[in-house]
């Protein structure tokens, strides 16, 4: 007759008990699991075993960034910026500003005006990269032609914009898919411009398509002040918890935002978010910030407040910077006379 040492029997029974505890959550409803966790918080795992698409089915979607549209938006923003620079320099042009697939061309008959326009447009070119990885190129190739100036987006600029569009899309999709209440969704980049979305256990695929097919809604609204009419104010949830009263009126829409990326402040070294609007958005943003210095400005994504920085001063150049809890002009704006009054 086989005999086992007592310690071996105890070890086997302990392993069996641990295995049972690990698999129990996978067979219980959420209510029953919550009850067991309250009764035995130290012994019952807080989540079920994720089976994945192969074992429990679900939804699998492959999305692709519309690269031509991303490039077109860049070119349109470049056209608006060039128009603004030419107006600042009081440079006369002929026939307007032409656009092609990757840039713009402008006819400037006068040679002296061309010589003045060239450095103005070259100033629109920005380095690609950040303080950690360093520069990996620049955004524009600007050359003088026999009758004007031509500016073309570089390959590095287009690739960088697509990369950031993919990264931003991943964050937006993750927030939306998490709202479905599914277990361990997988959202990751595939290749340069594609996104893989896997949602195990989701049976209502039409709901997922509806969520993925909806354009992200980004808005800039003023935080409501005490005493404002309730009809003009609504309480919106915040990503960090709780709610925040904001004005119903949308001051600037996200469709006017042409660029946003993380970076570091040139003076303090602290992490910041740099952003830039198109011509229409920049004018509206400048007006709002000039009239509301000192007030918090809520950034609302899909009906949820993700940040509410305070306006430190007028931001009239079409670009700005979010640092900590403050909204201010970008570094190049301060060099022209803006101050940081934190």
| Range among 47-61, 239-253, 256-270, 319-333 rated most confident | 239-253
% of residues, the chain, pLDDT over 70: 77
The answer on pLDDT for 337 being more than 60 is no
Apex 158 CA angle, 153 and 161, nearest 5: 125
Output DSSP code: residue 90: T
Q: Which pLDDT does position 270 carry in this prediction?
A: 77
Query: Topology of 53-214 in CATH?
Result: Alpha-Beta Plaits (3.30.70)
CB count in 10 Å sphere of residue 231: 7
Round to whole Å and give the CA distance between 238 and 294.
21
Round to whole Å and give the CA distance between 261 and 168.
10
pTM recorded for the entire structure? 0.62
Q: Is residue 312 within 8 Å of 327, Cβ to Cβ?
A: yes
The pLDDT of 9-18, averaged and rounded, is 85
Taking only the tens place, the pLDDT of each residue in 203-230 is 777 777 777 766 667 889 999 998 888 8
Q: Using DSSP, state whether 192 is helix, strand or coil.
A: coil
The answer on pLDDT for 338 being more than 50 is no
Q: Which pLDDT does position 342 carry in this prediction?
A: 31
Q: Which of 276-280, 286-290, 299-303 has the lowest mean pLDDT?
A: 276-280
Domain boundaries, the chain: 53-214, 218-335
Round to whole Å and give the CA distance between 87 and 66.
32
- Mean per-residue pLDDT over the chain, rounded: 79
Q: Which of 112-116, 122-126, 305-309, 331-335 has the lowest mean pLDDT?
A: 331-335
The pLDDT of 130-137, averaged and rounded, is 59
Round to whole Å and give the CA distance between 311 and 298.
10
Question: Could you tell me the end-to-end alpha-carbon distance of the chain, in angstroms, rounded to an integer?
Answer: 83
Q: Where do we find the tokens 């012994």?
A: 43
Round to whole Å and give the CA distance between 340 and 9.
71
Say if residue 84 is exposed, middle or buried (CB neighbours under 10 Å; 0-12, 13-18, 19+). middle
Query: Topology of 218-335 in CATH?
Result: Gyrase A; domain 2 (3.30.1360)
């Amino acid at each position: 007759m086989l005999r086992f040492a007592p310690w071996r029997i105890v070890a086997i029974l302990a392993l069996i008990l641990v295995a049972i505890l690990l698999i129990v959550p996978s067979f219980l409803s959420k209510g029953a699991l919550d009850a067991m966790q309250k009764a035995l918080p130290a012994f019952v795992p807080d989540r079920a075993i994720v089976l994945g698409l192969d074992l429990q089915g679900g939804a699998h979607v492959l999305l692709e960034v519309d690269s031509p549209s991303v490039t077109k938006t860049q070119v349109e923003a470049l056209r608006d910026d060039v128009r603004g620079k030419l107006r600042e320099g009081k440079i006369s042009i002929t026939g307007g500003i032409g656009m092609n697939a990757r840039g713009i061309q402008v006819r400037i008959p006068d040679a002296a005006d061309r010589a003045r326009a060239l450095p103005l447009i070259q100033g629109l070119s920005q380095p690609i990269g950040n303080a950690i990885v360093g520069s990996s190129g620049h955004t524009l190739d600007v050359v003088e032609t026999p009758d004007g100036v031509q500016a073309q987006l570089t390959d590095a600029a287009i690739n960088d914009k697509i990369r950031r569009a993919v990264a931003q899309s991943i964050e937006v999709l993750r927030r939306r898919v998490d709202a479905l209440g599914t277990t361990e969704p997988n959202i990751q980049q595939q290749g340069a411009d594609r996104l893989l979305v896997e949602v195990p256990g989701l049976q209502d695929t039409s709901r997922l398509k509806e969520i993925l097919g909806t354009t992200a809604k980004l808005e800039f609204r003023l935080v409501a002040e005490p005493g404002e009419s309730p009809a003009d104010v609504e309480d919106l949830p915040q990503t960090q918890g709780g709610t925040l009263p904001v004005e119903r009126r949308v001051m600037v829409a996200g469709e006017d935002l042409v660029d946003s990326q993380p970076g570091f402040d040139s003076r303090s070294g602290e992490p910041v978010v740099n952003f830039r609007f198109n011509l229409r958005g920049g004018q509206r943003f400048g007006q709002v910030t000039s009239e509301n210095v000192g007030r918090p400005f809520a950034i609302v994504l899909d009906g949820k407040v993700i940040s509410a920085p305070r306006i430190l001063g007028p931001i009239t150049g079409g670009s700005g910077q979010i640092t900590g809890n403050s909204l201010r002009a970008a570094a190049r704006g301060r060099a022209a006379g803006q101050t940081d009054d934190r």
